[in-house]
Amino acid sequence: MEKAEIIREMQDAVTHISETVHRKKAEGRKVVGCAPIFVPEELVIASGAFPVGIWGGQKVSLSRSQEYFPPFACSVVQSITELSVAGVYDEVDAVLLTFLCDTLKCMSQTIQLSAPKLRPIFVKHPQNYRLECAVEYMVKELARVKEELEEVTGARITEEALREAISLCNRDREELMRFTRILAQKPGILTNHQRHDVIKSRLYMERSRHLELMRELNGILEAEAAPEFHGIRLYVCGVMLEPVELLDILDELGYAIVGDELLQESRQFRYRVPEGLGQLERLARQVQNIRGEAFLYDPQKERDDVVAEECRACGAEAVLFALMKFCDTDEYDYPWVRDAVQAAGLPILNLEIEQIMQSFEGARTRLQAYAEQIESRRRA
């Protein structure tokens, strides 16, 4: 396949989610929604069900969600709620939900009212996740999740099926990391919008097909000569960088994303599932290995060190902190990240965004001014 053909298939997966779910249901497959964040998709794949992401919906205007949440709740959860009230998830057989922020805790209750046909399966992570007893707890928690998925799908999740699912997802993670490294080495070889679609498509495709396309795409990109690039090498922090109009603005202004720690993107695949005595223990130890995660207990505030290290590794010359409006977690972490980035000699822009943004002129103005500031630094 050619590069454009591969990207088009991935973009189709991102823009035709309902059609994919309908097709899987017509084939007799169970469909399990994967909500934010860090849900064990490997268990879904091992059960034979199709995992589908239920965050990142575009062009959502809020009306009914405000019956369930106050206006100061984050727009990610409000968008999920709005879509659930509208019946968008009616074909989904179950949804995996975590409790890693206060608003997600609330959604675990409200979704049972906004989507009464949808069966919630709760995944409760230990907050002090580095302790060995936290691994023991997580193994028991994952065993319960496994049993509930078996009830939903009617299929037994064997050790071998789970081992194969973990291997598949680990290989896909490796290809995604390879992909982000290639784009750091060859800025401008893809647009920021294309980069986003390639990464996001994993939430809406068979994982085996995504892996196949990633391998082929990476081979093509590695063989291509790096384009001449005089724009701005940008590193992005935050929950997500959506709506996609923001990516188009970055493309227009000459930015190229060379690295990120976005929760919807790199933070979902930068940690492989390690080895362990059993498959559930392996999944539990993946959580234990996470470093600098805003939504887990991090008394040392390692996130700032992680960001500074990754900026150096990918050659970033500027940082964008895409602060999701009303996200207390990111608001709390921002001062540490800002100080670490500035200590590394890089400028940082704190840009407040919402998934339901209607006007982008304010964001465009700030990003344009930021680009001019970076150009001035180059000339200094």
- Give how far the C-alpha of residue 336 lies from the chain's centroid of Cα atoms, to the nearest Å: 22
What would the pLDDT profile of 325-365 be if each residue is shown by its tens digit?
A: 999 999 999 999 999 999 999 999 999 999 888 899 999 99
Average pLDDT over residues 210-228: 98
- Give how far the C-alpha of residue 176 lies from the chain's centroid of Cα atoms, to the nearest Å: 12
Q: What is the pTM for the complete model shown? A: 0.96
* pLDDT of 10 above 90: yes
What b/e readout covers 266-292, taking b as 16+ CB neighbours within 10 angstroms?
Answer: bbbbbbbbeebeebbbbbbbbbbebeb
Whether 353 and 246 have beta carbons less than 8 Å apart is answered as: yes
Selection from 15-29, 46-60, 103-117 with the highest mean pLDDT: 15-29
Measure the CA–CA gap between 369 and 377, rounded to whole angstroms.
13
What would the pLDDT profile of 224-278 be if each residue is shown by its tens digit?
A: 999 999 999 999 999 999 999 999 999 999 999 999 999 999 999 999 999 888 9
Average pLDDT over residues 295-320: 94
Average pLDDT over residues 162-174: 98
Measure the CA–CA gap between 339 and 348, rounded to whole angstroms.
9
Q: How many residues does the chain have?
A: 380
Percent of the chain residues past pLDDT 70, beyond the cut: 99
Residue 66: per-residue pLDDT:
83
* pLDDT of 58 above 70: no
Q: List domains and CATH numbers for the chain.
A: 16-160 (3.40.50.11890)
Average pLDDT value over all residues in the chain = 94
- The better pLDDT of the pair 59, 232 is held by 232
Percent of the chain that is helix, strand, coil (3-state, to 5): 55, 10, 35
Residue 109: per-residue pLDDT:
87
* pLDDT of 307 above 80: yes
Measure the CA–CA gap between 123 and 51, rounded to whole angstroms.
15
Measure the CA–CA gap between 325 and 9, rounded to whole angstroms.
32
Measure the CA–CA gap between 126 and 226, rounded to whole angstroms.
44
Residue 59: per-residue pLDDT:
56
Least trusted range by pLDDT, from 126-140, 153-167, 205-219, 227-241 = 126-140
Measure the CA–CA gap between 99 and 193, rounded to whole angstroms.
30
Closest CA to 59 of 31, 28, 17: 17
Compute the Cα dihedral for 275, 155, 149, 177 and give only its sign.
Answer: positive
What would the pLDDT profile of 66-105 be if each residue is shown by its tens digit?
A: 888 988 888 899 889 988 898 989 999 999 999 899 899 9
Residue 306: per-residue pLDDT:
95
Least trusted range by pLDDT, from 41-50, 76-85, 200-209 = 76-85
What would the pLDDT profile of 130-143 be if each residue is shown by its tens digit?
A: 899 999 999 999 99
Strands 119-123 and 232-238: unpaired
Q: Distance from first CA to last CA of the chain, Å, rounded?
A: 45
Closest CA to 74 of 318, 270, 317, 325: 325
Closest CA to 126 of 9, 244, 296: 296
